Amino acid sequence: MDAKPARLSQSTISEVMMPHMANGVGNVHGGVLLGMIDRVGAVAAIRHARRVCVTVSVDQVDFREPIHLGELVTMQAMVNYVHRTSLEVGVRVEAENLITGVKRHTNSCYLTYVAIDDAGRPTEVAPVVAETPEEQGRYKAAERRRALRIEHAARKATAP
């Protein structure tokens, strides 16, 4: 399989946060944001794999500050790393006050997807090419995160 540049997987979604998206204290509900994160991440994974991709894991998501109703939330996703059938996608979340123009980086996270064939089995994915120094840094960091995920899964499997 021919390797593909990471930039070709880039995906962006934006949505104004509306009242039906509020939690009990009047900010945007974390579940709304997680759903958006998964959708934009899946688009990036599918663009790269050109296959259906299913979510395997979402790394730790820290909501650094609340997102308010009326703000425009923009999420950008890109494939950071590919290993045979799995893809790590990084997602950056920003909130923008449309009146003042002030933008805030509210969180980032990493998701792992697996490409599946028509029978629902994992299938190989083309490698990703990290072209820029920033992409190369994300690739190397993704390799380390993958090793930690494998180590964590092995510890869980042997725990009493």
Predicted confidence at residue 127, as pLDDT, reads 98
| pLDDT tens digit at each of 160 positions of the chain | 899 999 999 999 999 999 999 999 999 999 999 999 999 999 999 999 999 999 999 998 989 999 999 999 999 999 999 999 999 999 999 999 999 999 999 999 999 999 999 999 999 999 999 999 999 999 999 999 999 999 988 998 988 8
Predicted confidence at residue 60, as pLDDT, reads 85
Tell me the whole-structure pTM to 2 decimals: 0.93
Architecture of domain 4-158: Roll (3.10)
Predicted confidence at residue 66, as pLDDT, reads 95
DSSP code for 132 = S
* Range 33-39, long-range pairs (CB < 8 A, 24+ positions): 33/63, 33/67, 33/73, 33/93, 33/107, 34/58, 34/61, 36/73, 36/75, 37/61, 37/75, 37/91, 37/93, 37/109, 37/111, 38/111, 39/13
Strand pairing partners for 96? 72, 103
Strand pairing partners for 129? 5
Task: For residue 54, give the H/E element and its range.
Answer: strand 52-58
Predicted confidence at residue 1, as pLDDT, reads 82
* Two tokens, residue 34: 């997680």
Domain boundaries, the chain: 4-158
Query: SS3 of 59, please?
Result: coil
b/e code 132-159 from CB counts within 10 Å (16+ = b): eeebeebbeebeebbeebeeeeeeeeee
